[in-house]
Amino acid sequence: MSEVSFSIDTEELRITVDDGVATIWIDQPDKRINTISHDTLDAIEQALNAIDQEPQVRATVFISGKKDSFIAGADINMLKELKDPSDVRALTFRAHDLLQRVKDSPKPSVAAINGACMGGGLEMTLGCDYRIATTHSKTKMALPEVQLGILPSGGGTQYLPRLVGIQQALQMMLTGKNIYPKKAKRIGLVDALIHPPGLHQAAQRAALQLADGDLKPDRSLKSLTDRLLESNPYSRKIIYTKALERTEKETKGNYPAPAKIVDAVRTGMEEGLEAGIRREAELQSELLFTSESKALVSLFFAKQEADKNPYADEARPVQRIAVLGAGLMGAGIAQVSSVNGVDSLLKDQSFEMASRGRKQIWKNLSKEVDKGIRSQFERDQILERVQPVDSYDDLHAADVVIEAVPEDLDLKRQVIAHLEEVVSPECVIASNTSALPITEIAEGAKHPQRFIGMHYFSPVPKMPLLEIITTEQTNETTLATAYAAGIKQGKTVVVVNDGPGFYTTRILALYMNEALLLLDEGASFEKVDEAMEKWGFPMGPFELFDLVGIDVGAKITDVMESRIPDDAFQISRIAERLAAQGLAGQKTKKGFYTYSGEGTSLDKEEANDGIYDVIASSGQASFASSMVQERLGLMMVNQAVACLDDGILKNVTDGDLAAVFGLGYPPFQGGPFRYVDTEGAASIVGRLEQLERKHGPRFAPARGLLELAERCGSFHA
């Protein structure tokens, strides 16, 4: 280690020097991950000033002092504090200047990336002369700003297209999706890959080779087709046009950021870097103050809070989770447990059936191996944590047991009785059910205080939400431990009180029922789906019926109907009639639509018009899209408020978060409660009263809406 010393007045980073290479260790104090804030920008600027003035330093390495994270992006609190467009432009230009400073330095620089490298963190590396990343499964790169309703404003819209090509850059920025190491190397986002233990040394070697002129990275586009397409303004114009068309098709015009991302890229590539940087700053100053961005940012903060266990002091350690039922749901729960380092017992009626569940996990993980998301070694390590069993006695050492057997009340009670005979007195017993009241399942349990609901969403490895349901008898230790288990599984957790359908199933079931009532009235299910997709849902209600199973929908309807006031709701019997004809949706490859393919990877083929013959409906009645959206959207919103009135929901933030993360409620609206605030409670009440006059008492405004409208208030401060 060199005797060179630096006087840096910051705790954000530290500098070490070895053989002429200065390493900037970004390691923010008292934080699990690094983010970019004003202090971070100040610290990096100080470090560069010191390094530039030290003749013994020939090259620089940027690396994180955190274990599995490089830089997770900009500090969202910093963005939230920006008050007007001029503040946004000033911050953007400062980030641009710092990136350009790194790029123009006579001393070459290397970014050494391990773990998450997101947003502003990735943008910072674009100024470096060389990027080397580890092959660790936690290493991933992305520009996810579009998911917050904004664009990359630290130079991403300008430097990324020049590095990986316009098409790859647009795909990254318009989707916000993660890029994993193998693909990052393939597209030129990084120059080399290394195993984690050798990262720093490899980066130092590369830095010296760059300084000596012995290393010259290849910056040409990898694909001949890409080079031809991006080599002239005429073909580039086609790229921009196609990107806008795809964006419009996917977003239905509900999100302003994607079109502005294309605008910023086009300006920079066609009018030059300086014009592009100015355009990037200008567009960001517009986007940050849109209602869409504010809604998406509110969800970001809500998720951050939900990812912390408010009952942590009461939680018992969770080292082993047992799952009863090795079907897609049970196997999915075991998978998210084992992926996150928790030993999992997977039980079914026979060892063979439990082993099939484990094999499904292997298939899911193997797909990730094929995509370069994780290595075969990591897959095999994860699978070793999944143990198939066929006896209740094998579950005695579990910390949490989650039953995921079919939705049958008697069956679930039998399972609970067996479990209480074998598990330890401290073990939490949870039911994964989408509709059956937890209190009813727990009837007859010897220790109802340790019983709780843990409602997962299908497919479990992809859906981020876990809805925990407590009864009047559930104690705080049980809740705290279940919450801890959910966090360990990587889930975003909300806690609700018990009631018919809890929160998510209740608002979804009555939304879906309203769609069926439209079908009863002669509507086209395709047009209803189109209307709700345009409103912002990822899929319409009838395609969703096919996904979850029309037979499952019919069972949920039965559960809900027996527990809601008869005079308040008109229940459609369509799902029951279709299920009786063997039309279950994707599981039978035929429902409202027909499907092809095998396993869980099915492709939607075409509408199944035979549905109309079964339900004796024409499908020809004319309903304006706006009316479809009003009936279905306001049914869900009104029921969300009713859940708050009834004490099912504990707060409106959880209500918004659960609707978006669990049900696909349009994220740009921020959730049903933020939608009320945006539209105004008085407006929502007036529209519901119109629907009530036309369609009956199921549209009567919830008490909380009436009270809010009367005092001209809002749900969120």
Phi and psi at 685, nearest 5°, equal -60, -45
Share of the chain above pLDDT 70, in %: 98
Residue 606 pLDDT: 94
Q: Which fold has domain 13-289?
A: 2-enoyl-CoA Hydratase; Chain A, domain 1 (3.90.226)
- What is the DSSP-derived secondary structure letter of residue 464? -
pLDDT at 317 over 50: yes
Residue 715's pLDDT band (boundaries 50, 70, 90)?
very high
Burial class (CB in 10 A: 0-12, 13-18, 19+), 4: middle
**For the chain, domain boundaries:** 13-289, 312-499, 505-647+680-710
3-state secondary structure of 333: helix
Residue 1 pLDDT: 47
Distance (Å, whole) CA 694 – CA 334:
48
Model-level pTM greater than 0.85? yes
Distance (Å, whole) CA 366 – CA 372:
10
Thinking of the domain 312-499, which architecture would CATH place it in? 3-Layer(aba) Sandwich (3.40)
pLDDT at 460 over 60: yes
Average pLDDT rounded to a whole number, residues 235-256: 92
Run of H or E residues at 343: strand 343-347
Residue-wise pLDDT for 595-630, tens only, equals 998 876 788 999 999 999 998 888 889 999 999 999
Residue-wise pLDDT for 106-124, tens only, equals 999 999 999 999 999 999 9
Least Cα distance to 238 among 145, 170, 190, 155 occurs for 170
Distance (Å, whole) CA 395 – CA 431:
15
In the block, tokens 């290595």 appear at 375
Q: In this structure, are residues 123 and 96 in contact, taking their beta carbons and an 8 Å threshold?
A: no
Around 479, how many Cα atoms within 13 Å sit in the side-chain half-sphere? Answer: 19
Say which of 467, 514, 543, 630 is annotated catalytic.
Answer: 467
Helix pair angle (38-52, 85-104), 10° resolution: 30
Residue 602 pLDDT: 84
Q: In this structure, are residues 192 and 202 in contact, taking their beta carbons and an 8 Å threshold?
A: yes
- Choice between 81 and 681, residue whose per-residue pLDDT is larger: 681
Residue-wise pLDDT for 160-204, tens only, equals 999 999 999 999 999 999 999 999 999 999 999 999 999 999 999
Phi and psi at 497, nearest 5°, equal -90, 160
Q: In this structure, are residues 158 and 273 in contact, taking their beta carbons and an 8 Å threshold?
A: yes
3-state secondary structure of 381: helix
Residue 697's pLDDT band (boundaries 50, 70, 90)?
very high
Residue 161 pLDDT: 96
Q: 10 Å Cβ neighbour count for 451? A: 25
What is the rounded average pLDDT for all residues in the chain? 93
Residue 566's pLDDT band (boundaries 50, 70, 90)?
low
pLDDT at 65 over 90: yes
Residue-wise pLDDT for 575-592, tens only, equals 999 999 999 999 899 999
Q: Please give the CATH number for the structural domain made up of 505-647+680-710.
A: 1.10.1040.50
CA distances to 346, 374, 401, 416 from 395, rounded to whole Å, are 9, 30, 8, 13
- Choice between 449 and 10, residue whose per-residue pLDDT is larger: 449
CA distances to 529, 559, 583, 589 from 603, rounded to whole Å, are 17, 31, 17, 9
In sequence order, what are the residues at sequence separation of 6 or more whose Cβ sits closer than 8 angstroms to the Cβ of residue 410?
Answer: none
Residue-wise pLDDT for 495-536, tens only, equals 999 988 899 999 999 999 999 999 999 999 999 999 999 999
3-state secondary structure of 503: coil
* Catalytic (active site) residue 245: no
Average pLDDT rounded to a whole number, residues 369-385: 92
